């Protein structure tokens, strides 16, 4: 028997901006965040009024592995450090079923995580119910990421959101993992989810900047009733990065939309805390644009660049071929096969 969904968490403002610098940003940092970087970033975000700060390996709890990249510092230690620094903000983690387990979720909760964002491919929400059930038993708040949202229709995406909500998800997300959604495409998905689950859950949006629509789509999302919006300081994230938290706060302030955030402090956090430790500034270069154009999972970027260097083929060609083949999150290892095939074509 399906459990009734928990009530929606209260919103103190018009929208809630969730900061994912210390999770999605892990991709751009090759999963090498240090404890001191996490502590400084959490202090700054907390002081600026951010309510939820996501901290974990870029591929979620349990993601530290050969396939996805080993963490420089154990993620449970980073979660605990974040919890120690936060005074008003809650700590969230990502969990991808098949990468992370319920045991990983329990360990993250013990370390201080109070929210889990369970992420599945946009057509595979049926793998998430056991993880939502475990989170509810732990008393955690819950969000659901429907990744690569451009790869299914608005109506079918809404049906997948309903599966998550019925399993205990308080906020299903339109997750534009490739940064591929144009504004009208994003709007159609936002409207479909709000119509399907809006009486039972808040709807969220997680955007990437590969085609430069992350912030614009966030404005569209707010206009049609989406209430959770993700950002990262300095856009730090996979691909061309996420919607910049500091830009979102400034834009919504100009629009008169309440976020509860201190724009000046977020600008200081981006410029004085995050920018000095960046090893890679997320940007819309050829490789990142190809990801949005071809609809390729944003976290493929560094994997493609490494394969390109090893097999002496262009990274953008690897990414374009991945788009043609329809690869999705979790298939990063397949890029080696793509690179080898391209190298053979070049020497044939």
Residues 199 and 305 occupy one common structural domain: no
Encode 199-226 in three state secondary structure: CCCCCEEECECCCCCHHHHHHHHHHCCC
Do 324 and 220 lie in one domain? The reply is no
How many Cβ atoms sit within 10 Å of the Cβ of residue 256? 7
pLDDT of residue 333: 75
- Could you tell me if 329 and 252 lie in one domain? no
* Residues in the chain with pLDDT values less than 70: 1-7, 12, 348
Residue pair 87/115 in contact (Cβ under 8 Å)? The answer is no
> Read out DSSP for 89-148?
-EEEEEE-BTTB-HHHHHHHHHHT--EEEEEEETT-GGG-HHHHHHHHHTT-EEEEEEES
| Distance (Å, whole) CA 122 – CA 127 | 11
Question: Where is 13: in which H helix or E strand?
Answer: none
Query: 277-297 pLDDT, tens per residue?
Result: 998 888 889 999 998 898 888
**Apex 233 CA angle, 142 and 204, nearest 5:** 30
**334 plus 268 within the same structural domain:** no
Shared domain check, 327 and 272: no
How far apart, in whole angstroms, are the C-alpha atoms of residue 13 and residue 17?
10
Query: Are 44 and 189 found together in one domain?
Result: yes
Residue 293 lies in a domain: no
266 and 303 share one domain:
no
What's 311's domain CATH number? 1.10.8.60
Q: Provide CB contacts within 8 A for 165, sequence distance 6+.
A: 5, 144, 172, 197, 200, 201
Both 312 and 182 in one domain: the answer is no
Q: Would the annotation count 177 as a binding residue?
A: yes
pLDDT at residue 115 in the model: 98
If one counts the domains in the chain, the total is 2
pTM value? 0.91
Known binding residue 206? Answer is yes
For 190-231, what is each residue's pLDDT tens digit?
999 999 999 999 999 999 999 999 999 999 999 999 999 999
Range of the domain at 328: 299-347
User: Are 266 and 339 in the same domain?
Assistant: no
Is residue 106 situated within a structural domain?
yes
24 is in an annotated binding site: yes
CATH value at residue 175: 3.20.20.70
In a domain, 283, yes or no: no
* CA triple 127-123-174, angle to 5 deg: 100
Does 84 share its domain with 48? yes
Q: Are residues 231 and 150 in the same domain?
A: yes
Same domain? For 180 and 227 the reply is yes
Domain assignment present for 32: yes
List the catalytic residues: 27
**Helix (H), strand (E) at residue 322:** helix 315-325
């Amino acid at each position: 028997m399906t459990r009734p969904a928990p009530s929606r968490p209260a919103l103190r403002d018009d929208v809630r901006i969730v900061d994912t610098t210390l999770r999605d940003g892990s991709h751009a940092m090759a999963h090498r965040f240090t404890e001191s970087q996490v502590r400084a970033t959490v202090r700054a975000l907390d002081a600026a009024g951010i309510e939820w700060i996501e901290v974990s390996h870029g591929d979620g709890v349990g993601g530290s592995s050969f396939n996805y990249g080993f963490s420089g510092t154990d993620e449970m230690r980073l979660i605990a450090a974040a919890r120690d620094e936060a005074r008003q903000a809650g700590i969230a983690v990502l969990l991808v079923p098949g990468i992370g387990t319920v045991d990983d979720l329990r360990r993250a909760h013990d370390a201080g995580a109070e929210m889990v964002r369970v992420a599945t491919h946009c057509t595979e929400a049926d793998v998430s119910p056991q993880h939502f059930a475990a989170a509810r038993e732990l008393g955690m708040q819950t969000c659901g990421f429907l990744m690569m949202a451009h790869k299914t229709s608005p109506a079918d995406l809404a049906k997948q959101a309903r599966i998550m909500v019925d399993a205990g998800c308080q906020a299903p997300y339109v997750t534009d993992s490739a940064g591929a959604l144009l504004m009208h495409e994003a709007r159609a998905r936002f409207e479909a989810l709000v119509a399907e689950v809006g009486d039972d859950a808040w709807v969220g949006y997680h955007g990437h900047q590969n085609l430069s629509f992350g912030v614009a789509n966030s404005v569209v999302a707010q206009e049609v009733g989406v209430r959770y919006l993700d950002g990262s300081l300095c856009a730090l994230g996979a691909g061309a990065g996420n919607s910049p938290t500091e830009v979102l706060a400034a834009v919504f302030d100009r629009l008169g939309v309440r976020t509860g955030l201190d724009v000046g402090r977020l600008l200081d956090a981006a410029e004085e805390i995050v920018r000095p430790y960046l090893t890679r500034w997320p940007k819309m270069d050829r490789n990142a644009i190809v990801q949005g154009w071809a609809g390729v999972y944003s976290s493929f970027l560094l994997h493609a660049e490494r394969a390109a260097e090893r097999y002496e083929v262009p990274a953008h060609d690897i990414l374009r071929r991945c788009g043609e083949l329809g690869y999705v999150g979790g298939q990063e290892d397949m890029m080696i096969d793509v690179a080898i095939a391209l190298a053979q074509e070049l020497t044939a």
